[in-house]
Amino acid sequence: MRPKRAKLAGDIVVEFLPPRRASKRVVIILDGLPTKPSKAKLINWFSKKGYWALHMRYRGTWESGGQFLDHEPSQDVFDLIDALPSGFTDVWSGELFKTHPEKVFVVGSSFGGCTALMCALNDRVDRVVSLAPVTDWTAPTPGEPHDYLEQVVQDGYGGCYRFTHDDWWRLGRGELAQPIAHANQFDPQKLFIIHAEDDTVVPIGQTRAFLERVPARHRFLSRGDHLSANHVMRWPLSRSILNFFS
């Protein structure tokens, strides 16, 4: 089924599907950086499993308004959650939807995995699945150094990511989206971290260092390189994730 599309909290664009059966359980899907925002299969998969599935564009990226990285990206998730009970309209059909979530789960990979971890610090979010997350932006990443990645995003993605150089380097200095800086604030029971041993973009050493301080549930895969959020659909990982949510 083709996902529906709506704008919430003023300027946050989401693609979404309601659950196939009545439910007040919500999954919010977060993208990496940069990436093509295409998660139709994953949205459908969660919808069939009985979840409201919402794939969000951060403010200042792709179709969403606002500025990227002039605030904590996790704030966009919280604003989205707060807007759900007020209702949102599918731009294609004009149909109104609303839900009063009883449980909210966040799934993200890479930059989205980092943002998902930051979401776990807030009571609005019940549990988080984080794949190949950046946990420390000040740590070396030989595959994608911070200055190189800035140039790639600017040259290769044009207006898809709208940020200033100064805000970009708030990431590099660890001033934004820095899970390791909040290690003593996490509830490990809310986290499930998945990382591949052969990741060439975000070294698995980052996750190992984070887990030394936050003893969360985790799964290390021998292969897979830099995992995307779509890996949650793969058996037997999918079973572990659904069990974690339930």
pLDDT (0 to 100) of residue 20: 87
Q: Which pLDDT value is given to residue 140?
A: 76
pLDDT in tens, the chain (246 residues): 899 999 999 999 999 999 988 899 999 999 999 999 999 999 999 999 999 999 999 999 999 999 999 999 999 999 999 999 999 999 999 999 999 999 999 999 999 999 999 999 999 999 999 999 999 999 878 778 889 999 999 999 989 999 999 999 999 999 999 999 999 999 999 999 999 999 999 999 999 999 999 999 999 999 999 999 999 999 999 999 999 999
φ, ψ of residue 237 to 5 degrees: the values are: -60, -40
Kindly tell me the burial class for residue 144, based on how many C-beta atoms sit within 10 Å of its own C-beta (0-12, 13-18, 19 or more): middle
As given in the structure block, the two tokens for residue 106 are: 């966040």
Q: What is the structure's pLDDT at 125?
A: 98
- Which residue type does 140 have? P
The dihedral over CA atoms of 44, 73, 143, 210, expressed in degrees to the nearest 10, equals -100
Domains of the chain by range and CATH? 4-245 (3.40.50.1820)
- Residue 144 is predicted with a pLDDT of 80
Q: Among candidates 90, 88, 89, 122, which has minimal Cα distance to 105? A: 122
3-state SS, residue 243:
helix
CA angle 81, 175, 230 (to 5 degrees): 50
Query: Tell me, what's the pLDDT at 191?
Result: 98
* Single pTM value for the model: 0.97
Check: CB of residue 113 under 8 Å from CB of residue 130.
yes
Give dist(CA 174, CA 196) in Å, integer. 24
C-alpha distance from residue 128 to each of 5, 131, 227 (Å):
23, 10, 16
